[in-house]
Amino acid sequence: MTAERLAPDARGIARAAQLLHAGRLVAFPTETVYGLGGNACDGRAVAAIFAAKARPAFNPLIVHFPDVDAVSAYAVLKGDALRLAQAFWPGPMTLVLPMRAGAGLSPLVTAGLSTVAIRVPDAALARALLTEADCPVAAPSANPSGRVSATTADHVLEHLGDRIDAVLDGGPCDVGVESTILQPGPDGTRLLRPGGLPAEAVEDCLGRPLLAPEVSERPTAPGALASHYAPKGRVRLNVEHPRDGETLLGFGPVACALNLSPAGDLVEAAANLFGHLHRLDAMGVTAIAVSPIPDHGLGRAINDRLARAAAPRG
Ligand code: TXA
Ligand code: MG
């Protein structure tokens, strides 16, 4: 597959929106960096984003909307969050907000968390695409894991051209560094990642200093957030034959309560992972056994997540 390079005109935008709607991956420019976009309500599209980035872990992704009004169906905006949204959106700011349950976002987008990172970018082309796509668009920076972020369509094509469907070419990004990530909370607003919006501007708006992230929340090690979702039940991995009292979370053609992918498809398994873990919780399961999952491609990220879930709890 070689990605289509789409022109920044009505035809290019329509094609990009059509691809996103069909669950395909489209890189597009925001004012910060190029994002690797997929429909945030389509678990397979979100899984495909992780596969394209070759991320060894599921880090929660930023979900993009065309305007502030579109956000409220998916997340709760009040207090500091509302003030910041009104002051700095559209712009290079991401807010981590309480998610509205049942709004339809894939649990993989948030790595199973109850909060969601949301951004309304300012770049006209990004907003035109988001308006036309008419779905929330999950987009991490459009670089393979461990590489620098892409600020031109050529950067994107060089590293991801054989793994995505299209790139909307809007020329170089203005800001060039990622968005500032903030998490408003009851005791103040935390700065989770410095970025394109200066912290001083945020503090001026709020009239008080930003709080440092909690040590466990520093997004230095991808997927290492302590708040990452873990199921309530005990987890045992690489299980062919579950013990009495264990509920099998299957992979491939096995008899089990819930199957990540009966066909043994890692993209399908990733898309189902967090939803199934939540379902096991809802079923009141106290001991989870997981079928062996191949440790390549998305299997590595699935196994990373399950290994954390299986680790002794503090
Ligand atoms: O400028 C940007 O922010 C670009 C453009 C494309 O919008 N996007 C971007 O995404 O940089 P990404 O995936 O590379 O970085 C997202 C960061 C990750 O460090 C992740 O840990 C954090 O956002 N994040 C996402 N959801 C979170 C949540 N619910 N709680 C805490 N951190 C979250
Ligand atoms: Mg990134």
pLDDT one-digit tens code per residue, 191-208: 999 999 999 999 999 999
Shared domain check, 270 and 130: no
Structural domain includes residue 21: yes
Predicted local confidence at residue 221, as pLDDT: 45
Which residue ranges in the chain fall short of pLDDT 70?
Answer: 1, 215-228, 313-314
Residue of 62, 110, 159, 274 with the most ligand 1 atoms within 8 Å of its CB, for mutation: 62
142-196 pLDDT, tens per residue? Answer: 998 888 889 999 999 999 999 999 999 999 999 989 999 999 999 999 999 999 9
Its ipTM equals: 0.98
Burial of 138 (0-12, 13-18, 19+ CB in 10 A): buried
Shared domain check, 135 and 264: no
Shared domain check, 279 and 167: no
Q: Write out the residue range of the structural domain in which residue 297 sits.
A: 234-310
Shared domain check, 201 and 242: no
Beta strands at 180-185 and 115-119: parallel, antiparallel or unpaired: unpaired
Shared domain check, 247 and 194: no
Domain total of the chain: 2
Can you tell me which atom of ligand 1 is nearest the CA of 223? Answer: 21
Task: Read off the tokens for 221.
Answer: 């090690």
Predicted local confidence at residue 224, as pLDDT: 47
Beta pairing partners, 168: 6
Residues 33 and 141: beta-carbon distance below 8 Å = yes
Q: How far apart are CA 83 and CA 80, in angstroms?
A: 5
Predicted local confidence at residue 308, as pLDDT: 84
> Residues lining ligand 1, judged by CB closer than 6 Å?
30, 32-33, 35, 59-62, 94, 96, 110, 113, 115-117, 119, 139-141, 178-179, 181, 192-193, 219
Structural domain includes residue 223: no
Listed residues 177, 192, 217: the one ending a domain = 217
Can you tell me which atom of ligand 1 is nearest the CA of 35? Answer: 6
Can you tell me which atom of ligand 1 is nearest the CA of 116? Answer: 29
Listed residues 184, 217, 250: the one ending a domain = 217
Predicted local confidence at residue 215, as pLDDT: 66
Q: What is the CATH number of the domain that holds 140?
A: 3.90.870.10
Predicted local confidence at residue 213, as pLDDT: 80
Tally of CB atoms within 10 A around 146 = 10
Shared domain check, 93 and 57: yes
Residues 221 and 269: beta-carbon distance below 8 Å = no
Shared domain check, 148 and 22: yes
Structural domain includes residue 260: yes
Structural domain includes residue 67: yes
Listed residues 217, 251, 280: the one ending a domain = 217
Shared domain check, 258 and 116: no
How long a stretch of residues is the chain?
A: 314
Q: How far apart are CA 109 and CA 63, in angstroms?
A: 8
Shared domain check, 213 and 91: yes
Annotated binding site for ATP: 55, 59, 115, 141, 149, 193, 229
Predicted local confidence at residue 236, as pLDDT: 95
Tally of CB atoms within 10 A around 86 = 11
Structural domain includes residue 162: yes
Whose CA is closest to 284, among 242, 247, 244? Answer: 247
Shared domain check, 243 and 126: no
- DSSP label at residue 75: B
Sheet of 115-119, strands arranged across: 4-6, 166-168, 26-29, 34-39, 137-138, 62-64, 115-119, 93-98, 180-185, 188-193
Shared domain check, 177 and 66: yes
